Chains A and B, each alone.
Chain A
Amino acid sequence: MFDYYLNLALRSLRRNKVLTALMIITLALGIGASITTLTVLRLLSGDPLPQKSAQLFYAQVDPYTRDGYVPGKTKPQRLMAYPDAMNLLHAHQARRQAAMALTDAKIAPLHAGEHPFFSDGVMTTADFFTMFDAPFRYGGGWTADDDESRAQVVVISDFLNDRLFGGASSVGRTIRVNDHDLRIIGVLKPWAPQPRFYAQGLGGRSYGDGDAVFLPLQTARAASMDPQNDDCWAVADTSKLETAPCIWLGFWAELSSDGEVAAYRQFLSNYVQQQIALGRFYRPEVALSDLPQWLRDEKVVPDDVRLQAGLAFGFLLICVVNTVGLLLAKCLRRSQEIGVRRALGATRRAIFAQFMVEAGIVGMAGGLPGLVFAELGLWCIRHQPAEYAGLAHLDVHMFFLTFLVALVASMIAGLLPAWRASLLAPGSQLKAA
């Protein structure tokens, strides 16, 4: 039966090439626009660590004073002060935990005559690599002891290793960061989670390349490397951030069960209550958000991207309405043919099915140019001045989704005309002929 409908549909589509082409092009435009924006949206709202994100939690406490505090309404600060981060770190209440800040690392050239350059750096603590599943090509990370002893060590990225050492193992060699000689103990494999979740709130960009150097927090601070972002709640000497009334660290904990999460939340509350009792804190709020929640709270996906996706789907809607109109025109023109088929015994259902098949064919035919339009759209996105621009590519999922959207859109568009066609009475149409 399906073969027959297919045959009929192809015949009918061939009969009026202009109308068919119009339908296919409009549908393809709408699909192209939607798939383009959907690809970007999916890219930006993706999970940076799919295997781990449910176990990673961002902890917040609030050392700010009573100024501007509204109980129950004021959310805790995004960043942490140094003493609190260290207290939480040393309490070892989670499986793994790390404090971190972003910094500009001035890297001296290996050869005389070259200029020093700045790279993105992360100053953090020992668990960073194991907690975030950062893979090593050579060597490994540092230990908690290295943190405490301010060991002069550094982990570098694959691209920095390529640039400085031509890709060979540089473990054991020395680079000069911020005028301090550091021994390389590890080289990462390419590692750039998208979004760069651990940089949220720390002042860096959200998408794009990974960081170039990773150093122990206290080592970096001793080399007078400053965090990209700090906020102070009183006048502060920002050169002594460890003791200043300033927040500048992000704190992550790895917790693998609901029980552990509840226990850690309780631990945070207890810690804050203790700090209030000591007179250090005033605000009792704490927060412990898992990674996806933290990204949502931080509104990591730009508003413009959502707006574009909304626009594209509005456009697709218009294209569908347009297709409804054109399909309707086509099917009404064939009233006589329908009358004949009905008179010869075709049921209403058969007519309906025939027209849905025809709509489906239009959809599938629209999917292909839709794919071309989507690739064109993504090419435009890649040439946009956005930090995620280079990442916008169509993957297998979106490839199939394109055809799915095309099919669904055309089926929706076909419903009304097919229903109208199935309602035509056989007699009157035959008489008119």
Chain B
Amino acid sequence: MQIQPILAALRRHRLATLLIAMEIALACAVLCNACFMIANRIAMMHIDSGVDETSLATVQLTGYEDSHAVDLNARVLAGLRSIPGMQSVTVLNSIPFGARRGTAGITLDAAAQHFGGVVEFYVGGPGSLQALGVHVIAGRGPQADDFRAFTGLMPSDASVQITHSLAEHLWPGVDPLGKDFWLDKMHYRVVGVIDHLVRPDPPGWPDNSKDWSIFVPAQPGKLLAGSYLLRADPRDVPRVLRDARAMIAKVAPDAVFDQEGSQTLSDLRATCFRQDRAMAGILVGVIVALLLVTALGIVGLASFWVQQRRRQIGIRRAIGATRGDILRYFQTENFLIVSFGIALGMVLAFALNVMLMKFYELPRLPLYYLPIGALVLWALGQIAVLGPALRAAAVPPVVATRSV
């Protein structure tokens, strides 16, 4: 296929060529960035929580008197544990993707000079860490005498488990076991490392800190009550939660059952990311509409060109060009224009990404999005031009002999 005559023809239609190329360029810029944003949202939605979500549910109670908390715990734990199929019921202040009650800033020295970061304190009663199903990858899990009663905001001088990513953040490359940190005047010592334990509200945090969690063992009491972690076989979880609701009405009529907060962890996770899912859906919609419009534009202009060149096509056919030659002519023409648009579009995509990075917290666009975007647009161009090109190929040679 000779490119020279195509270029010569395009030069005579500079404006139309430029317009299609522009449209492709804009489409390329938006396409790459929108795909990148979708990928980001999806990656966020698939964050590894580190816990056995499918086996877990939570019951949240409010509206009881603080002075009744100990009694309430006893009634609720006994009541819920009697539900058939329940594997364990434990007390845990914060719930992954659910209630958030332990967000605080920690320091690496008692004098509060070295700020460590804002982390989530999961304060849990006996058995709650096992119930979550997290994996202790170094050191040890909590032992029976670690669970102590406390009076302040949180237990002090506790032996705690922290996540691997938090350990790496606080003490990069150093063994975190035995290290100390402080929450204001309250002191903690690391005795174990867990691989993952997500914060209750991961969407609100930067990527590297979604997993900064600490497990503090404590004895349920006045300040650790009303938030329960239920574990059952994944098939039983929805039924167990329904039974739990009925059971609470029986054993704790003085408390308010928090309908919104008391869910299976799978449902809590879905709720937690529904905004991101909706946004990803909108972005997909934009991409589809965008590709559709771009394709329609190409179809429109290509049809116009075909009609305008009927006579030339007829002449070419009359002097020996095959249908295939004509078809390939329009396909190559489209390929050239789209390529030109893509080259322009890559620059635009980067400019748009820089702008988005400035106004929204979006990382830099990885380079591999560009060739993918290019492939999509090339394919789109070829599909869009196929119809008009086939119509061009169908022009009979006899047209050459007629005056238009």
Contact = CB atoms under 8 A, between A and B. Distances in A.
Interface of A: 18-19, 22-23, 25-26, 29-30, 33, 67, 104, 106, 115-118, 179, 234-235, 238, 303-304, 306-308, 311-312, 314-315, 317-319, 321-322, 324-326, 328-330, 332-333, 384-386, 416, 420
B119 to A, nearest CB: 17
A33 B286 contact: yes
15 contacts: A23-B300, A26-B293, A26-B297, A33-B286, A106-B256, A116-B63, A306-B359, A312-B286, A315-B286, A322-B296, A325-B300, A328-B16, A328-B19, A329-B305, A333-B308
A19 B304 contact: yes
Nearest to B23: A321
B243 interface: no
Contact of A328 (B15, B152, B258): B15
A18 B23 CA distance: 20
B86 interface: no
Contact of A329 (B112, B256, B274, B301): B301
Given A304-B275, A322-B294, A326-B300, A106 B289 contact: no
B390 interface: no
A333 B23 contact: no
B23 A314 contact: no
Contacts of B368: none
Given A19-B304, A303-B360, 17 more contacts: A19-B303, A26-B293, A26-B297, A235-B152, A235-B185, A304-B279, A311-B34, A314-B26, A315-B293, A318-B26, A321-B23, A322-B23, A325-B20, A325-B297, A325-B300, A328-B19, A386-B275
The B interface is mostly helix, strand or loop, or mixed, namely helix
A385 B280 CA distance: 13
Nearest to A319: B293
B184 A321 contact: no
Contacts of B296: 22, 25-26, 322
A433 B305 CA distance: 18
Contact of B19 (A67, A308, A325): A325
Contacts of A25: 296
A322 B297 contact: yes
- The size class of the interface chain B forms with chain A is 35 or more
Contacts of A33: 286, 289
B108 interface: no
Interface in B281-311: 282-283, 286, 289-290, 292-294, 296-297, 299-301, 303-305, 307-308
B19 A321 contact: yes
B225 to A, nearest CB: 15
Contact of A325 (B153, B301, B356): B301
B157 to A, nearest CB: 14
Interface string B11-34: 000011001101100110010001
Contacts of B312: none
Contacts of A326: 297, 300-301
Nearest to A383: B278
B62 interface: yes
Contact of A385 (B16, B62, B274, B294): B274
Contact of B16 (A18, A22, A115, A325): A325
Interface in B307-360: 307-308, 356, 359-360
A116 B297 contact: no
Contacts of B256: 106, 115-118
B290 A318 contact: yes
Contacts of B23: 318, 321-322, 325
A304 B185 CA distance: 39
Contacts of A325: 16, 19-20, 23, 297, 300-301
Contact of B293 (A29, A307, A328): A29
A219 to B, nearest CB: 18
A330 B307 CA distance: 11
Given A116-B63, A235-B153, A317 B26 contact: yes
Nearest to B361: A303
A116 B185 CA distance: 39
A215 B274 CA distance: 34
Nearest to B283: A311
A303 B279 CA distance: 11
